[in-house]
Amino acid sequence: MAKEILLDEGFIHEWTSRAKVSGRSVAQQIEYDAKLGRIVIDNPDLSYAFIEKALLAKDEIERGELTLYVRKSSKTFNLSDE
């Protein structure tokens, strides 16, 4: 459900630049940053870079862009062999 809200002109100007760089509309950029902000608040031990990479990976999975990793060698590492 879409709602109209009033935002400060300076705030809109800042997000307009961010949206252009990201290829999003201003509304999409604000929604993305709000989502990211919620994740950061809920997970203070995770870095911004880690969270962003996790979101990108989730999107790749949802779009079916990932392939199964297959080992090229049959070697295995076993800690009990040391």
Confidence (pLDDT) at 41:
94
This prediction's pTM? 0.64
Confidence (pLDDT) at 76:
67
Question: Residue 79 has what DSSP assignment?
Answer: G
Confidence (pLDDT) at 51:
92
| Phi, psi (degrees; rounded to nearest 5) at 24 | -120, 165
Query: Domain residue spans in the chain?
Result: 12-66
pLDDT above 90 for 59: no
Confidence (pLDDT) at 5:
87
When the pLDDT of each residue in the chain is averaged and rounded to a whole number, the result is 86
pLDDT above 80 for 22: yes
51 vs 60: CA distance, rounded Å: 14
Q: Taking the CA of residue 81 as centre, how many other CA atoms within 13 Å lie in the half-sphere pointing to its CB? A: 4
